Chains A and B, each alone.
Chain A
Amino acid sequence: MGDVLTLSGLEVRAGAEVLVHSVDLLLAAGEICALVGASGSGKSLTARAMLGLVEIDPGVTRGTLEITVGDRSYQPPMSGDFRARKRAFEGIRGAVVGYLPQDAGRALDPLRTVGRQVGHTARLAGRDDGPLPWLDKAGLQPSVAGRYPHELSGGMAQRVVIAQALARGSRFLLADEPTTGLDPAVRRPLLRELRHLADEGVGILWITHDLRATRGLADRVLVMSEGRVVESTTPDVLDSGEVSSPAARKLVDATRRIAGGRVR
């Protein structure tokens, strides 16, 4: 059996309000699963819950996460005792499940150079080869290592974050709208990089609100609305418009209006 991440029955609450309702999700090694939906539909919250990083009260109240990598299996407790959760998630964050943030510029420590940050991430994975091989793999020049985050463009910052993910060697990657705010010339190579990572066996959950971008890149698409997964389909089916849920229909129609007919 290949590497697989299974999330079952996830429920997240803020006080009495339920923000994520019983979400099930399966992510296999080597696939890109797009999680699409309007802003506030619970996509990012679902991803953060999978990293044990929900900081609202009471947060995750129900759900199980099971990750199988080779012959090892991880089942961090998603709710209950804080210390037990902290210990369990610290063991899988980065090493097993990585994270590509939405705003890469803000996801880098503003007071440390790129080289130190990427090098440190590599050391966390037990690699002593420094930052340069990983910057090179992410398509960046060695000179970037000496720069501070505020000296990078949006696309370069995103590549630095990808370099960190490569250096960390995560088996699964949660990419939270990693191309938001980037122009198409920068966005396309980054999306190709994600595809390349998946081809190397990394399972990627790609959070986006851009249905058009999923075509040709994602293997599967999950549509979220009001904290629920309302549709599980493929980019081709979305493109044909044969969707069953009203929320997915609304998303497809809106995208078509922008694109002029087809979801592309």
Chain B
Amino acid sequence: MSRVAWVLLAVVVCIGLVAPFGDWERAMTVIPTEAGLGPSPGHPLGTDHLGRDVLARLQLATSAFAGPGLLACAVALVLAVPTAAVSAYRGGVLGSATRFAFTSLAAIPRFVLVLLVLSIYGDSPTTLALAVGASYVPLLGEAVYERIERLRGEEYVLASQAHGLAGGRILWVHLVWFACGRLIGRHLLALFGFYLVLETTLSYIGGFGVQEPHPSWGNMLVFEWGRRSLVDPGLLAPGIALWATLALTDWASESLGEVEHG
């Protein structure tokens, strides 16, 4: 069943990745004569108060988090995993110094760190993605470090060395890929979810994140708030999409945990 979560999540991410290359006239063009329409065959989720198609804007809004969310994951993966893996496997002064760095950085609240970076370097989606990815490095690094440090003394690592396996293969294949693969996967899904919530929150609050007229699920919510009834599909749709995507990341993440512990 968890495959359903992975497939649906992949569909959402794919829509977000290809969206910037599509023709989104229906999502962007203001048509005052069609403002505030209810659901109809031409507009399945109706239109917003500027006459733009809500479904089209909902789809286009996935580009606000899909690409940058993946970029944040890539940043965390590239910075945290090799650093943590090598230092935990080697141990000694390098290991102690890396762990101290992870612990010190983890003490700074992530949200504060991200806002600080945005204040200094501007609030483009790329800057936000880099900041979120970098802020997650201590958390992911600490998790990978702790596991490899625990496993490197295991009998099977010693036996692999005794069989003549090179240290690099033991580290990257046996310890990182096989023993930490699912752990890393769970963390990256959590990071993707965190990016989605953060981007939605920032664009909901305004000032940071994606701003009108470009759609984000956050600014779509705030843009229609107070102008529609609480059960109107045009108002509910971004909120439901946000909840459903977070539920999918959680479901997919749980499937990794079940396999590992089962």
Q: Is there contact, CB below 8 Å, between B158 and A107? A: yes
Once the chains bind, are B178 and A109 in contact (CB under 8 Å)?
yes
Q: Which residue of A lies closest to B162 (CB)?
A: A99
* 8 Å CB contact of B154 from A94, A102, A106: A106
A168/B163 contact (C-beta < 8 A), A109-B174, A109-B178, A112-B178 known: yes
Closest to A106 in B: B155
**A95 to B163 Cα, complex, angstroms:** 7
Cβ of A103 within 8 Å of any chain B Cβ, yes or no, is: yes
B258 to chain A, nearest CB (A): 15
**Complex contact A94–B166 (CB within 8 A):** no
Residues of chain B from 27 to 52 with CB closer than 8 A to chain A in the complex: none
- Is B139 interfacial (CB-CB < 8 Å)? no
Contact between B179 and A94 (Cβ–Cβ < 8 Å)? no
Q: Verify A124–B164 contact, CB threshold 8 A.
A: yes
Is the pair B156, A110 in contact by a Cβ cutoff of 8 Å?
yes
Checking A92, A103, A112, A121 against B155 with a beta-carbon cut-off of 8 angstroms, the contacting residue is A103
Beta-carbon contacts of B129-170 to A below 8 Å, as 1s and 0s?
A: 000000000000000000000000111101111111111000
CB distance from B257 to the nearest CB of A (A): 14
**Are A111 and B179 in contact, with the CB atoms below 8 A?**
yes
Scan B92-128; emit 1 where CB is below 8 A from any A CB, else 0: 0000000000000000000000000000000000000
Q: How many residues of B contact A (CB 8 A)?
A: 17
Contact of B163 among A48, A86, A98, A103 (CB under 8 A): A98
Find chain B residues with CB under 8 A from A109 CB.
156, 160, 174, 178
Closest to B92 in A: A57
**Nearest-CB residue, chain A, relative to B181:** A111
Knowing A103-B155, A106-B155, A107-B155, say if A121 contacts B178 (CB, 8 Å). Answer: no
Contacts of B164 in A (CB 8 A): 90, 92-95, 124, 168
CA distance A98 to B166 in the complex (A): 15
- Check A94–B156 contact: CB distance below 8 A: no
Q: B156 near A164 (CB under 8 angstroms)?
A: no
Residues from 163 to 194 in A contacting B, C-beta threshold 8 Å: 164, 168, 174
* Inter-chain contact B161/A121, CB cutoff 8 Å: no
What's the least CB distance linking B211 to chain A, in Å? 46
Least CB separation from B177: chain A residue: A111
A86–B90 alpha-carbon span in the complex (Å) = 13
- The 21 listed contacts between A and B (C-beta, < 8 Å) are A53-B158, A90-B166, A92-B164, A93-B161, A93-B163, A94-B163, A94-B164, A98-B162, A98-B163, A99-B159, A99-B163, A101-B159, A102-B155, A106-B154, A106-B155, A108-B156, A108-B159, A112-B178, A164-B163, A168-B164, A174-B162
Please give me the 5 A-B residue pairs with the lowest Cβ-Cβ distance, nearest first: A94-B164, A99-B162, A107-B159, A106-B155, A94-B163
Given contacts A106-B156, A107-B158, 4 further A-B contacts (CB under 8 A): A55-B153, A93-B161, A109-B178, A111-B178
Residues of A within 8 A of B (CB): 48, 51, 53, 55, 86, 90, 92-95, 98-99, 101-103, 106-112, 121, 124, 161, 164, 168, 174
Which residues on B are within 8 Å of A, measured CB to CB?
153-156, 158-167, 174, 178-179
